[in-house]
Amino acid sequence: MTDMANNSGASLRSTRRAGRIDLRYVGLFVLVAGLGGVAAIYPIVWLGGLGLVVGLGLCWALFRFLRRIGLSLWQVVAVVNLSGYIVLNYGYDNLALHLGGFPILLAYGMMYGSFALAVYENWGTAKKILREPAMLCVLALLGLTLVHLVSDIPAYGSWAFRDCTMCLDGVFLLAGMLWAKKTDSQAFLAKWLLILFAANMFYVFTMPWSEKIWSWSPESGAFYPVPLFGNFRGAGDWLLVGAMFCICLGSYVFSRPKWLMTLLVLGQFLGIAITQVRRMYLGIVVVILILVAVGEIKKFGKLLIQVPIAIAVLALATTVGGLQISGRVGPVNLEFFKDHIRSLTGAEDTPGSDPQTRLIMGRQALQHFYAHPIFGEGFGQPVVEVMDEETGTVTRTPHNSTICYLARLGSLGFIFWIAFHFCLCSTFVQAYRQRRSYDRQTYMFILWFFLFYVLFMMSSLVESPFEYPAKAIPFYFLMGLALGIMRWHLSPKAKQELRLTPLPVDERAYR
């Protein structure tokens, strides 16, 4: 009887267990069927949700990997968001939530969260970095900005905050210097930047299908919808920077196979042909002159050889091969580029925007400076009246960041702005004079940082990179890295001779 009771009890438990399993399968079936129904009726919603799940999964995997190799939490958040800024640029910058009508930019919030963590974890070192001359200039601009915001935010709301990011983002100079303080910072950064530039190159190759990608992409935005994918604004500016990174530092990152860096350089130049950014044509000439001036003849030779090779490949593909590619402005072929280069001189009937438009916007912005010559216009009001044909909105900036600083912050802010660049350039000059005190890889890193600085500032004379966080934050972060490397990676003898280390080294902050 006891055995029968035990058997019946076991049978009853197994039956209940089977019932529970069946209910799970039923629930799973209902879920899948429901999702299938939604996919049939609203396929875009399904694809968007699937893309979101995949994207979050990749971000989580990347997060785990970066933590496993020894990065702190703030560094992981910074790497993920900087990667989004550089590759997806304006689309990633506009990921936003709206609370009570006020837009909250997700990537922007995460970057400032990482900044707060960095300062909290390294408070002692951060206080010392605030004495850096370039950082003092950034703090002066920030203080003047906060004075303006006291009246500008009540008057203009979120528009004032949107305009003032051109000054707020300077704090990431400090984040870059905190990262550079770590002795092993260069190895990871070199690999990360090379992979990032390669990813940007392949992404640019999809530009001929930008309209199709745009139509598939989810949209978000602070003030008007912006697609996450298919928005290539600013992507062309990273191509020449990436090509020079491969030439200067590629062999230190991947020594084998040697032809890999050559292919990446050629790919970046072909990407410039697709993005058709005129300032990069001039940028190639400027980079060549800099390499000659600093005596880097091998680097000059590589660039001088690979540019004609890229042109020859393009000519063979479009003329002999009959390949037809649509670029940002027009077809990708040699005839187009002849006319596109001619447009730099203001020649009529040439592709691209008229340089005269830049002059008109500059004059309009200067009118705001003349009205407020000491403290400037402030933030919230557009400083130009030209309409943006793509969005149908007023172009708020004069496509010249220096003039924008002058118009919004007046003579006082302009002095701090010029002083900031003087401090940067003087540090680069000091590093060049002591180039023999660096190991070769560190010096190549510094040379690349300087080339990046020059190319970025060239862009700032005809565009508005400082007014958009997707460009300004990477700039300040990389310049912080450059300052940190130049300050703290000299030999001890050189440090003593030039007294280039006003900041005491606090190794305990990184133990």
Strand partners, 394: 387
For the four alpha carbons of 148, 102, 465 and 131, in that order, the dihedral sign comes to positive
Between CA 74 and CA 117 the distance in angstroms is 6
Q: Are 489 and 185 in contact (CB under 8 A)?
A: no
pLDDT of 56-112, one tens digit each? 566 666 666 666 667 888 988 999 999 999 999 888 988 887 776 677 888 899 999
**Residue 238 burial class via C-beta count within 10 angstroms: exposed 0-12, middle 13-18, buried 19 and up:** buried
Owner of token pair 């969005």: 391
For residue 4, the model assigns a pLDDT of 46
pLDDT of 401-415, one tens digit each? 999 999 999 999 999
Question: What is the C-alpha end-to-end distance of the chain, expressed in Å?
Answer: 70
Q: Are 491 and 442 in contact (CB under 8 A)?
A: no
From residue 40, alpha-carbon distances to 46, 49, 193 in Å are: 9, 14, 41
Tell which phi-psi region holds residue 349, choosing left (phi > 0), alpha (psi between -120 and 50) or beta: left
Radius of gyration of the chain (CA): 27
182: which DSSP letter? Answer: S
Q: Is the pLDDT of residue 169 over 90?
A: yes
Q: Are 374 and 360 in contact (CB under 8 A)?
A: no
Helices of type H across 101-209: 106-121, 123-129, 133-156, 158-168, 172-180, 185-204
Strand partners, 510: none
387: which DSSP letter? Answer: B
Between CA 35 and CA 133 the distance in angstroms is 58
Between CA 277 and CA 151 the distance in angstroms is 38
Q: Tell me the whole-structure pTM to 2 decimals.
A: 0.83
Domain range summary for the chain, segments of one domain joined by +: 22-68, 69-504
Q: Are 18 and 10 in contact (CB under 8 A)?
A: no
pLDDT band at 161 (very low <50, low <70, confident <90, very high): confident
Q: Are 508 and 452 in contact (CB under 8 A)?
A: no
Between CA 219 and CA 227 the distance in angstroms is 4
3 state DSSP class of 331: strand
Reply yes or no: is the peptide bond before residue 227 cis, omega within 30 of 0: no
* From 243-247, 287-291, 324-328, 367-371, the region with the lowest mean pLDDT: 324-328
Return the C-alpha torsion angle 473, 479, 484, 489, nearest 10. 140
Q: Tell me the range of 14-18, 64-68, 214-218 where mean pLDDT is highest.
A: 214-218
pLDDT of 360-391, one tens digit each? 888 899 999 999 999 999 998 888 887 666 65
Residue 431: partners with Cβ closer than 8 Å, 6 or more residues away? 438, 443, 446, 486
For residue 133, the model assigns a pLDDT of 94
Amino acid at 34: G
Q: Are 380 and 161 in contact (CB under 8 A)?
A: no
Determine how β-strand 102-105 pairs with β-strand 96-99: antiparallel
pLDDT band at 30 (very low <50, low <70, confident <90, very high): low
Say which residue, 377 or 31, is predicted with more confidence: 377
Phi, psi of 218 (to 5 degrees): -65, 150
Question: What's the mean pLDDT in 447-470?
Answer: 94
Determine how β-strand 226-227 pairs with β-strand 96-99: unpaired
- Kindly report the average pLDDT of the chain as a whole number: 81
